[in-house]
Amino acid sequence: MHDTLGFGDVLKRQFELAERNYELLKDRGIRAINVMGAIGSGKTLLIIRMAERLKAKGLKVGAIAGDVAGDDDYQRFKAAGLPAMSINTGDDCHLDAHRVGHALTDFPLSGVNVLFIENVGNLVCPADFPLGTEGDLVVISVTEGDDMVRKHPKIFAQTDVVAVNKIDLAEIVGVDPQKLVADYRRLNPHGRAVLTDAKSGRGVEELLAALGL
Amino acid sequence: MHEYSLAQALLEGLLAHLREHPAPGSIAAVHVRQGELLVLSTEALREAWRILTEGTVVAGSDLVVERVPAKVRCPGCGYLGPVRYLAEEGWHFAVPVLACPRCGGRAEVVEGRDLAIVGLSVDDATPPRPGVAA
């Protein structure tokens, strides 16, 4: 016997909550970016560098730091003068729209023009959980090797802006950043890959342009 | 790594459904559709199901997972249908590419991101009466 059930998409709730976050951010005129990426790829510093440039243009930038534990990234955002908040997921390997929704309720959003939401360092799970941001960014760095895109094809196939960071170290670690870019272009013909070196700020302006900021 | 939380969500939905609509026998299998764009291990999902259902009315049920291919719509040329796949040497599976397979334009996903229970297989055997050894 086989019954047909009329219920059940368990991810639909996530999409509904993401939609709610999207509307809240839109109503307040805040442009938010979900910054995903590998562990240690330089997401935090890249956000700080983008924030510096946006601030110089007169925009107010906020940051939410998502981590399994600790407030290290939050402290770095604060030290950089950004209104910030930290989310500890405890065990979860990704942020989700529910957690971000609570954070948006508590965050001092007044006057904020751009909000970076730094996801948990992970190239697998964040791909399944939209947060309600208008843009997504995946950050990888040359120090992870030139096969990082090929090893995590799904997140790259679904994300339209990628930063290949730490290109100042490319020669030292023997990695050709163009190989990462070529792999990405095959998976996502519409995507934009930007080579960055967050330390010196190289490529940051181009990354902001790719994100439409 | 999020298979347990999603298995838990599937289970909660099913148990709520069964409270309203009790099954006319024991549930042998729970049929699930999993969109292929999800970064989700079917094997881990089935293992999570086995563990989480222990002690519930669906304990011992088999989670039967059907993978649903991605489908896109192209706002540019009006294409609606399956995606193109990229298969590279050494990959064990092909990866869906979300550009329009007809005109190459940017396409919107219309199917392939869902995880839903779509049906139950119920054993027709009359459930044993309380106090009667099976």
Average the pLDDT over B58-85 and give the result: 95
Mean pLDDT over the full length of chain B: 88
Sign of CA dihedral A122, A126, A132, A136: positive
Interface touch B1/A125, C-beta < 8 Å: yes
CA distance A79 to chain B (A): 33
If interface means Cβ-Cβ distance under 8 Å, which residues of chain A face chain B? 1-5, 7-13, 15, 92-94, 122, 124-125, 127-129, 150, 153-155, 157-158, 186-190
Chain A residue nearest residue B90, CA to CA: A150
**Whole-angstrom distance, CA of residue B98 vs CA of residue B109:** 7
Q: What is the pLDDT of residues A77-103, one digit of tens each?
A: 999 999 999 999 887 889 999 999 999
Interface touch B117/A8, C-beta < 8 Å: yes
DSSP class per residue in A183-213? HHHHH-TT-EEEE-BTTTTBTHHHHHHHTT-
Give pTM, 2 decimals: 0.86
Interface touch A188/B124, C-beta < 8 Å: no
**Whole-angstrom distance, CA of residue A22 vs CA of residue A16:** 10
For B87, counting Cβ atoms within 10 Å of its Cβ (0-12 exposed, 13-18 middle, 19+ buried), the class is exposed
Chain B residue nearest residue A122, CA to CA: B1
pLDDT (0 to 100) of residue B126: 53
Average the pLDDT over B18-37 and give the result: 92
Interface touch B13/A8, C-beta < 8 Å: yes
pLDDT (0 to 100) of residue B1: 63
pLDDT (0 to 100) of residue A7: 55
Report which DSSP code applies to A3. E
Average the pLDDT over A174-186 and give the result: 96
Residue A5: both structure tokens together: 């059930």
A47 sits in which H/E element: helix A43-56
Interface touch B95/A150, C-beta < 8 Å: no
Q: Which residues contact A27 (CB under 8 A, 6 or more apart)?
A: none
Q: What is the pLDDT of residues B95-127, one digit of tens each?
A: 899 999 999 988 999 999 889 999 999 987 655
Chain A residue nearest residue B103, CA to CA: A189
- A4: which chain B residues are within 8 Å (Cβ-Cβ)? 118-119
Chain B residue nearest residue A127, CA to CA: B39
